[in-house]
Amino acid sequence: MDQQSGPQRRLPSACPSCQNRLTVRRLECSDCGTAVEGAFALPVLLRLTAEEQEFVTRFVGASGSLKQLAKEYGCSYPTVRNRLDALIERMATLGQDAEETDNGNE
């Protein structure tokens, strides 16, 4: 399948086999073919679900206004606020996991 067309792929963050955290081993330039191999941790933002990433994108697009975001989603202010609080907690947990893994690798 042509890599430039076809169905949109989403970057997985968890192993489909054992659900453990995935790391990036190889990055490749699509222009000159240069490849870089190593062990790169996925940033926290990329480890969020698609829905969570969309929320973050919309939040930034609304200049951080929860009121604006509530209007876009068609729900109430506290519903959006609660969603943001849950996301903050999740990102803190993912960040802690990443730190523990990095400390373990050292």
Partner 1 sequence: MNEQRGGVFRRLFNPFYTMAGGAALGTGLAVILATAFLAAMSHSHVDGVLDFHSGLDAPLWVYPFEGIVNWLSMALCVWAAGAIASKSRIRAIDVFGTQALARWPMLIAVVAALLPGYTRFSEALLTIVTDSRFARNPAAFGELLAEAGVRGIDIAMFGVTAVAVLVAIVWMVALMYRAYAVACNVRGARGAASFIPALLVGWVVSKIVILAVFYGTGALGATLPEPGTPLFDVGQKGSEYASLLTSGQFDEAVAQFDDVMARDIPADRLKTLWDGVAAPLGAFVGHGAPRVEQRGAMTSVYVPCIYETGRFDVQIVFDDGGKVAGLWNKNFRDGENNRPADAGSGGEAQ
- Name the one range near partner 1 by CB under 8 A: 21-29, 34-42, 72-80, 93-101: 72-80
- Judged by beta carbon, residue 43 or residue 95, the one nearer partner 1 is 95
Mapping DSSP onto H, E and C, the string for 43-91 reads CHHHHCCHHHHHHHHHHHHCCCCHHHHHHHHCCCHHHHHHHHHHHHHHH
- Name the one range near partner 1 by CB under 8 A: 23-31, 33-41, 80-88, 94-102: 80-88
Q: How many CB atoms lie within 10 A of CB 66?
A: 16
Which amino acid would we find at residue 29?
C
Shortest reach from residue 51's CB to partner 1, in Å:
8
Under rule CB under 8 A, which residues in 28-57 are in contact with partner 1?
Answer: 51, 55
